[in-house]
Amino acid sequence: MNDRQQQAGAAPSVAAQWGTRLAAASGVVLLGWVVYRFLTTHASGHDIQAPAPSALAVLPFVGMLLSIAVLPLISRTQHWWEHNRNKLIVSAGFAGMALLYYAATRGWHGVEKALIHSMAEEYLPFIILLFCLYVISGGINLKGDLPAHPLTNTAFLGIGAALASLIGTTGASMLLIRPLLQTNSERRHVKHTVIFFIFLVSNVGGCLLPIGDPPLFLGYLQGVPFLWTLNLWKEWLFLSAGLLMVYYFWDRAAYRHETLRDLVLDETQVRRLTLRGGGNLLLLLGVVLCVALIKPGEALPGTALVAPHFLREMAMLGMVAVSLWRTPSSVREANQFNYTAIIEVAVLFIGIFISMQPPLELLRAGGDDIGKVLDAPWKFFWVTGALSSFLDNAPTYLVFFQIANSMTHQAGPGVFQLLDGNFIRQDLLVAISLGAVFMGANTYIGNGPNFMVKSIAEQSGVKMPSFFGYMVYSVGILVPLFVGVTLLFL
C-alpha cells in the first residue's frame, strides 16, 4: 500500500467521525425534504419567473471549479483535500452561497425552486443512476493478468468504446477499468492508458444510444427517437479510430521505456481472464431497460399505468439490492470494491449541480440572442462542447437543445420532426449531441465517470495528473481531432 492509500485509510478522530455522521444525516433529511416538496407540489425549476441572475451569481460555481482544480495542488491543502468529508465541506459551502443569492433576490420560494430543480430533477436521477451502475458493475469480477502489450491495451480500449453505448459509459468504465489496471500492474508507465480510457470508454464511446450518455437520454425524453443516435456512427468511428491509433503508437513508445525487470514480470505473471458475478450482467441490462422504458408521468410500456416519479430510480435501486444480496462478498473483495469513488462524485456534484443553476439560467435567458449568434452547426458543436467541459454535459445539452428547437417552427429540408410534434434542424441536433458527449472528456468534471475512473486508478497506485494537467492532455490530443470532426462532418 502506498503512502497516499495509508493516509486516506487512516482512522479519523472521534470528532471527525461524528461530524461526518451529522453531515450525512443532515444531507439525508435535506434530500428527503426536497423529494417530498417535489412530489407534493410538482414544482419545476423551469417555471421560475424572475429576471436573469446577475453575473456575480456565477461566482460560487467558479469558486467550486477552482477548488477542484487548485486545492489538490497546494501543499498545505493537498492531504486535506484527499478526504471526502472535506470535499463535502467545500461543496456545501459553495452550494450554500448560491442558495443565499436566491434567498436575497427571490426569497424562500426562489431557494425552494432552485433546490427542487437542481436536486430532485437533476442530481438525484443522475447520482442514483451512477450509483446503481457503479455498485452492480462492482459485483462483476473480470480477473486476469494478460501481457500488457500495446495491442492488448488498445483492444481493451476499443472493446470499451463499443460497450459504452450498450451499458452506459459508467457501466463500461466500472466493468473494464479494474482488469485494465490489473493487466498493467507490472508496468510503470500507465497514466496515459487511464487518460485514453477516460477519453474513449467514459465519454466518446457512449454516443450511439440514449442509454450511453445522460445528455442523449435527455434528448430521448424530449422526443428524439431511441435509434436516432445510431446516425452518429460515422463521427463515433472517426474519433474512436483516431484515438485508438494515437494511443497505440503512444503506448508502443512507452512500452520501450519500461525496465527489463518489469517486462519480464509482465510476461511471466500471466493469468487468463475469468469472469465471476456474471449474473450482474443481467442486472446491468435491467438498469438499462429501466432507463429506456420507465418515463415518469408517462404510461408504462404495454399498460395504461402511469409511472410515478422516482419509480425508475426505485426499480434500479431494487436491482442494486439484489446485486448486494446475491453476489458473493469474495467477488467484491477481489475487485477491492469500496464506495470511495462514488462518494467523491456524489459530494462534489452536490456543489456543482446547485452552484451551476445561475449560469444555466443566464444561458436560458440569453437564448434568443444566442440563437442569433449560433447560426451554424459547427458553432453549436464548439459552444455546447466548451460549456459541457465545465458544466455537467446533461443540462448543458438540454439548454442548447431548447435553443435549437426554438429556432425551427415548421417542416422543411433538413428539418427533423420530434416524436412530440416539435421540429429541430437535424444538423444542429447532431452538433449539440456530439459536442455534449465528446467534449465531456475535456475535464475531470465534464462527465460523471471521469472522476470515478481517476479515483479508482489512484487507489491502485497510478499517479494521475491534476485538473489542469489532465487538460493539457485533452487539449493536445482531443482538440485536433475535434477540428477534424468539424471539417469532415459539420
Three state DSSP letters for 176-227: HHHHHHHHCCCCCCCHHHHHHHHHHCCCHHHHCCCCCCHHHHHHHHCCCCCC
What's at 170, amino acid-wise? T
Helix axes 340-355, 59-70, angle to 10 degrees: 150
SS3 state at 256: helix
Residue 19 has a pLDDT of 58
Examine residue 356 and state whether it is found in any structural domain, yes or no.
Answer: yes
Examine residue 122 and state whether it is found in any structural domain, yes or no.
Answer: no
Examine residue 454 and state whether it is found in any structural domain, yes or no.
Answer: yes
Number of C-beta neighbours around residue 326 at 10 A = 12
Residue 38 has a pLDDT of 65
SS3 state at 415: strand
Number of C-beta neighbours around residue 26 at 10 A = 11
CA atoms within 13 A on the CB side of 22: 7
Q: Is the pLDDT of residue 410 over 90?
A: no
Residue 249 domain boundaries: 135-489
CA atoms within 13 A on the CB side of 296: 15
Per the structure, the count of domains in the chain is 1
Average pLDDT value for residue range 259-282: 77
Examine residue 17 and state whether it is found in any structural domain, yes or no.
Answer: no
Question: pLDDT: is 286 or 47 the higher one?
Answer: 286
Residue 402 has a pLDDT of 74
Question: 0.85 exceeded by the pTM?
Answer: no
For the segment 438-456, what is each residue's pLDDT rounded down to a tens digit? 999 998 878 878 888 988 8
For the segment 81-119, what is each residue's pLDDT rounded down to a tens digit? 888 888 888 998 999 898 898 888 888 877 778 777 777
Cell numbers that stand for 477 in this block:
490530443
Look at the block and give the residue holding cell 404495454: 302
Examine residue 417 and state whether it is found in any structural domain, yes or no.
Answer: yes
Distance of alpha carbon 289 from alpha carbon 301, whole angstroms = 11
Examine residue 359 and state whether it is found in any structural domain, yes or no.
Answer: yes
Distances (CA, A) of 164 to 133, 170, 197, 203, 246: 12, 8, 11, 8, 20
Question: pLDDT: is 388 or 441 the higher one?
Answer: 441
Examine residue 93 and state whether it is found in any structural domain, yes or no.
Answer: no
> Is residue 388 a contact partner of residue 440, using CB atoms and an 8 Å limit?
yes
Examine residue 77 and state whether it is found in any structural domain, yes or no.
Answer: no
Q: Is the pLDDT of residue 7 over 50?
A: no
Query: Residue 224, class by beta-carbon neighbours within 10 Å (0-12 exposed, 13-18 middle, 19+ buried)?
Result: buried
